[in-house]
Structure 1
């Protein structure tokens, strides 16, 4: 009987000890090899030695005083401070008459309009840290539009230095809309970012009404992490940008000393809210019942970094609006800054007729700054044609 009990105890203890050894091994491997995240969210692999990062630094010739100074300088790095997603609806609005009359499509937007800043899932604070950036290309995109991002990276969004002027690129993303394969899409976007290192992603759903969230979260991010950027081009992932013409225009504005309040694009004046319920841009009277201030089409516009910081400050004083480019127009009005109209920005296409030959004429693209509404392959093809040295245009339009 005693032998049977002992055998049972041994049979129970052996797998328990094995499990403990496996767990101890995993913990050891984790300490030695697994990537860690630093204060910026970057992953780093520990050295396979017990003396850690300080030992490795000393082997490279750094003194202990250098390391102590580095620790002091790294105590308070700039960081994204919206770390917790905690946004409950403003239920007091439900009892108000105007809310009861409001189109139900806008209920969630209004109930959560006070929620402004969201945790970051992917961050790149180092993007603006390596010296002065002349132009930051900022592109609105969604996770599924990988082909568009690839086209931008191969063309106008390519990170480069032109005539000594450094150009950097970032794509702005939220999370997948409801009903999509969110888990797999997130893994794909993380892998894409691991390759290119050019994605900023926040933990809010990528919907049309949330484009304004993308705007204000970027402005906050820019204010924190980009002290040495001079200009920002902001656009969609389906536009053609003639980088050379854009840089020429910036140089002209700097020479004329007009860059401080620079906000330029395809400006819209005296617009009113669209009341057609079938329109993507429909706004009910209960939400807004005035004319819009002058604003620039969101497909592509240019602004100075100085003005971007002022926009961030004033944006916090205004209620969010579900159309992002109109919201920026409201911010500009608050600052008493008029957006500048420029014929080189065609954010509604060269002509509104899709069958027009002008829309496919490379000489127009060579003379303009921004053209909207190109699918990924058309963008790559047009870029190649426009930059072909054998392309001869009879007359170059002024930009």
Structure 2
């Protein structure tokens, strides 16, 4: 019978204690559970030491195997005979106990969970990074830009934002796209210079004007007249290709550029103007040049024939600017904005611009005399209307619905029959006009631009866009002595214009110099 050694703490042998007890004849109640119920300890008193337990297993292993039942021996023969079933003896260098199996499993589970979370985060980060790279690549390809330009594109974006983009085709887009994979990339500064250089010519080559249906289902739009619906559906179309162009008209120093709004069918009015106040000449070293602004014929069946006649007319005189849009009343604003763009491109050496209709009488000499006392900067002079009310009567030519303009008064503007402005102000008007929605009445549209620039047009008594007097039957409207002192008088048809021009420039004797105030 084994006894614990004296002076050493007794040990347990949980794996073989019961079997060892049975082999030595111990009662079954003296096992682990028997002690909990108050049973006696094995003979000798204290606990069995671990190393004593292993020695006992080596000694009594075969006896234990023979004493166990058949079923139990089949289940764990190796456990009874093997010393591995006995826990390892605690190390003498450390008194710490080994971690319990439950804690080990919990620590292992936490470790596996942390590792799984780390792998999931890596996958998410990789997916986000890949998505960002794909978005950048698609953006670069859609814009037709080089990667270098995409990263440094802020300066280039500012340059592009200064140019109109509607109804245009720009040549540099294809050139950049073709050079996408070249190793040697041009600096952004060179590209910017190329864009500025491109603006020196008319860059609108195609008509890309589609209908805007964003508000076509609104109730206020459905109640408009057909002509206003047409205007609003295509109001975003601003610039159009040029059919006839004469940039050489602005070569050299031009003191006064006479610009006349006309339509393709009114050849007789243009001819009368060329023979009278539209003559190109030089007065005291001041050059005067003339241009006519036109669109295309509004009737399609007459368009081809009128276009041939216009091209022949232009070959003779070379003074026509023509754009590819219909000549109509609402498109007069298109003539305004397209001419301002043309002027900013080709006419940097022009000092003053007179702009008027083709049914007016003009005295260039009186205009030159007036301009001689003016200073350039913000000159805009004509027959100015202050606090004019929008006309709400549908039968009137200048009718404007409340849905299009709801304010009670228009800003100050000069009547479109004729006005004078200087070149610096015209350049500013061009830039401001691109920030405003087009308006059906061209005179009022210019007044809106002037309002943004905080420039008030100057009223001059020599501009008579409603006749010498408003009574059309008055004899004063046919008195040459009154015309002799006017700058602009509206309205005269070609035969009346030719007669009045001859009378004013004949040996006309007037009793006194007349000023109509």
**TM-score, normalised relative to structure 1:** 0.78
Structure 1 residue aligned with 2:385: 268
What secondary structure sits across from 1:297 in the alignment? strand
Which residue, 291, 295, 311 being the options, matches 1:174? 295
Q: Which has the greater radius of gyration?
A: 2
Structure 1 residue aligned with 2:208: 86
- Aligned counterparts, 1:209-248, within 5 A: 209-248=330-369
Structure 2 alignment gaps of length 5 or more: 1-196
What secondary structure sits across from 2:240 in the alignment? coil
Higher relative contact order (CA 8 A, sep 6+): 1
- Aligned counterparts, 1:1-399, within 5 A: 78-129=200-251, 131-253=252-374, 257=375, 259-290=376-407, 291-388=409-506, 390-397=507-514
Q: Is the contact made by 2:277 and 2:362 (CA closer than 8 Å) also made in structure 1?
A: yes
Q: CA deviation at 1:397?
A: 3.3
Q: CA deviation at 1:78?
A: 2.4
Q: Distance in 1 between matches of 2:504 and 2:459?
A: 24
Q: Distance in 2 between matches of 1:79 and 1:97?
A: 43
Q: Distance in 2 between matches of 1:283 and 1:261?
A: 29
Q: CA deviation at 1:166?
A: 0.1
Q: Distance in 1 between matches of 2:389 and 2:211?
A: 29
Q: Is the contact made by 1:101 and 1:286 (CA closer than 8 Å) also made in structure 2?
A: no
Q: Distance in 2 between matches of 1:77 and 1:373?
A: 38
Deviations 1:312-360 (A, max 9, x none): 0000000000000000000000100001000000011111222211111
Q: CA deviation at 1:279?
A: 0.6
Q: Distance in 2 between matches of 1:341 and 1:182?
A: 39
Report the RMSD for the aligned CA atoms in angstroms: 1.3
Q: Is the contact made by 2:268 and 2:494 (CA closer than 8 Å) also made in structure 1?
A: yes
What secondary structure sits across from 2:310 in the alignment? helix
Q: Distance in 2 between matches of 1:305 and 1:396?
A: 32
Q: CA deviation at 1:76?
A: 5.8
Q: Distance in 2 between matches of 1:150 and 1:178?
A: 22
Q: Give the length in aligned residue pairs.
A: 319
Q: Distance in 1 between matches of 2:452 and 2:290?
A: 29
Show structure 1 runs of 4+ deviating over 3 A.
none
Q: Is the contact made by 1:122 and 1:201 (CA closer than 8 Å) also made in structure 2?
A: yes
